[in-house]
Amino acid sequence: MKLSNLLNAFLVSLLLIVPNFDAVAGSDHDHQQDDSEHSETATGPNGGRLFKTGDFSLELQLVEQGKAPEYRVFVKDREKTVAPVDVDVTVTLSRLGGKKDTISFKPDDAFLKGTSPINEPHSFSVEISATYQGEVYEWHFDNFEGRTQIAAPIAEQLGINTNIVQAKTLTKTLPVYGKLALPAGAKRQISARFDGEITKLTALLGMQVKKGQHIMTIQSNDSLQSYRVISPINGIVTKQNVGLGEQTAGRSLIEITNMTELVAELQVFPNDAAKIRQGAAVSVNVSGLNTPINTTIKDSLFSVAGNQAKTYRAFIPNPNNQLQVGQFVSADITLESFTVPMAIEKKALHAFRDFNVVFAKFGDQFEVRMLTLGRSSGEWVEVLSGIDIGSEYATDNSYILKADIEKSGASHDH
C-alpha cells in the first residue's frame, strides 16, 4: 500500500473512531443551542422552541406537514395568549456565505404565520425580534445541521478536493458493442496481365508496400518479354500464393490489404436504432488503447444481423496498423448534446436524510446543500436547484465529511 494511502486510512480512522478528533481537525459539529450553550432548550406547548423575558414569552415552531417548512409564532404575556395582531415579529436567519433570510409574520388564527418558507438546510444562526406594547424583545440561538469544520491542512492530507458549480455541456449516449472490419475496396488481388514465369518477387507475405512500388517481374510465356508489376495501393501483403520461378497460371498471385483505415461495425438493437442519426459523434474504446477514438457514424448496413441488430459503421484511422481486423470494441454513440446552467460531479453526491446533497465549502467549513437534480451524462449531473452557481463543493473523499457529521449525532430541528 502506498504511503499516501496509509496516511489517508490512518486519518480516516481518527475521524471515525477517536472521540476528540474535533480538537485535531478543528471540527465544529452540528449542534442546536439557545443563548446558553449548556442549558437545555425549553419547549413550548406546541412543541416549538420557547423563549422568555420576564412575563413575556414567545414560542417559535417550525412546521413541516407535507408542505414547504414555515415558522409559526405563539405569544403570551403573563401566561395569557396575546392576540397575533398585537405583536410584530421578525426572524432573521444568517447562513454560511453571508446570506441572510428575513422572515416576516402575519396573523393567522391564534398564531403568527411566517410569510416565507424556511429553505433547506435548516442550518443558520437565528435572531428573533418581537415588539409588544412598545417594548422590544430579542433572542438569539444557533441551529446548525449538516455542518462540519476541518482545518485546511487536515483536509489536504485527507485528499478532500473541491470543484465549482458551473455550466456544463452534457451528452446523452447509447453504449453499444461491435468489432473492427475492413472498409470496401481495402483489398487488391494482384494477378498477371500476361501469364508467365515470376522472375523477381519483392513483395512477400507480411511485408508493407507502397502504391507504385515494384513488387514482382514476370516473363511472358508468349513474347518472352519481361514486364514489371507495381502495387496499386499502400498496404500489407496479406496473401502470397506464388514463389519465385513459379508460373502465374491465371490465378491471384498476391493479396494486398490497406489497413490505414478500419470500420467499427456497431450493433444497435431495434428499440434504439431510431435514435441514431448519420453523423452522430461516437467514442470507440479498443482494448489496449489508453484513450478512446473519437469519430462519427458514417452509414449503416441495409440488412440486420442474426440477432436483429442493425449495424452502424464508423470509420477509424489506423495509420500505424495498431488495430486489427476482428478486434472487439465498445462504443458510446451520442444521441443528444445539451448545455445546462449548473452541473456537478456525480462522485460528490451523498444521501442525507431524504435528500441528495453535496457539501458546499466556506473557508474551512463544509455544509450540506440539498439538491434537485436533472439530466445526467457520464460523470456529471445537472442541478436544478439547491446550490448557487460558482459555489465550491467537495468532490474526492467527501464521504469523510458525511462520516464526521454523522459521528457528531446531527439532528434536524422541527
Q: What is the pLDDT of residues 364-410, one digit of tens each?
A: 999 999 999 999 988 999 999 999 999 999 999 999 999 999 887 65
**What's the one-letter identity of residue 290?**
N
Closest by CA to 403, choosing from 18, 3, 95, is: 18
pLDDT digits (tens, 9 = 90+) for 46-71: 999 999 999 999 999 999 877 789 99
pLDDT > 90: what percent of the chain?
A: 79
* CB-based contacts of 299-308 (< 8 A; 24+ apart in sequence): 300/276, 301/265, 305/267, 307/267, 307/269, 308/269, 308/270
What the block records as the C-alpha cell of 327 is 478486434
- Domain(s) labelled CATH 2.60.40.3340 in the chain stretch across 32-143
Q: What are phi and psi of 307, to 5 degrees?
A: -90, 10
**What's the one-letter identity of residue 249?**
A
Q: Are 169 and 342 in contact (CB under 8 A)?
A: no
Q: Is 184 exposed, middle or buried (0-12, 13-18, 19+ CB in 10 A)?
A: exposed
Q: How far apart, in whole angstroms, are the C-alpha atoms of residue 166 and residue 169?
A: 10
CATH hierarchy code of domain 187-257: 2.40.50.100
- Domain(s) labelled CATH 2.40.50.100 in the chain stretch across 187-257
The pTM (predicted TM-score) of the whole model is 0.68
Average the pLDDT over 352-360 and give the result: 95
For the CA atoms of 108, 114, 117, 123, the dihedral, rounded to the nearest 10 degrees, stands at -140
How many other CB atoms are there within 10 angstroms of residue 314's CB atom? 25
| pLDDT value of position 317 | 94
What CATH class does 32-143 carry? mainly beta
